[in-house]
Amino acid sequence: MRRFTLRALDTLSLDVVSDLHRAAFAPLGERAWTRQEIAELLASPGVGGRLLELDGKAIGFALHRHVADEAEVLTIAVDPDRRRQGAGRALLDSVIAQARISGARSLFLEVGADNPAARALYRQAGFETVGSRTGYYRRGAGPSVDALVMRLRLGE
């Protein structure tokens, strides 16, 4: 059984995190977030992140935001060679736990309508689709893809 280690994301991890984001999203035709963009997000009020390691090597990360009684998954990225091994679920569970600790009543996220693996992960965690954003994700030279807006109720 794999043993993941989660730790708080900090500025010392920005290079590896931007590399992970590129590896996870560039093959989909999405623009990868830069080191600077991630640093600016982390410096924003209410934003936090978790770095996931396996055997001392970073294999994924999550960024999330908490405002008032709502939280949002900004991104979850997993090294493509480490997918379907529980890394995404470990990161999602960590964000859910943090949202509960922060007092959020709902956790939102957006996911590409063309990403069945991620949508299945979110549904298994209890998220429901509550809306969509037409043509939200650009896929390189291909057509844009709708984003599904999903919500997990954390409490009333």
Q: What does the pLDDT read at residue 115?
A: 87
Ranges of the chain with pLDDT below 50: 1
User: Is 136 among the catalytic positions?
Assistant: no
pLDDT at residue 45, as a whole number: 93
Report the pLDDT value the prediction gives residue 2, as an integer from 0 to 100. 59
Q: What is the pLDDT of residue 156?
A: 62
- The active-site residue, picked from 53, 72, 110, 137, is 110
Residue with structure tokens 């390189």?
140
70 belongs to the catalytic site:
no
| pLDDT the model gives residue 81 | 83
Note the pLDDT tens digit of each residue in 100-128.
Answer: 999 999 999 999 898 888 999 999 999 99
Q: What does the pLDDT read at residue 32?
A: 81
- Beta carbons of 51 and 9 less than 8 angstroms apart: yes
**Annotated catalytic residue within 40, 53, 72, 122:** 122
Q: What is the pLDDT of residue 72?
A: 95
**113 and 134 Cβ atoms separated by less than 8 Å:** no
- Quick one: pLDDT at residue 1? 47
What is the CATH number assigned to the segment(s) 4-153?
3.40.630.30
Q: How far is CA 37 from CA 15, 32, 113, 116, in A?
A: 11, 10, 25, 27
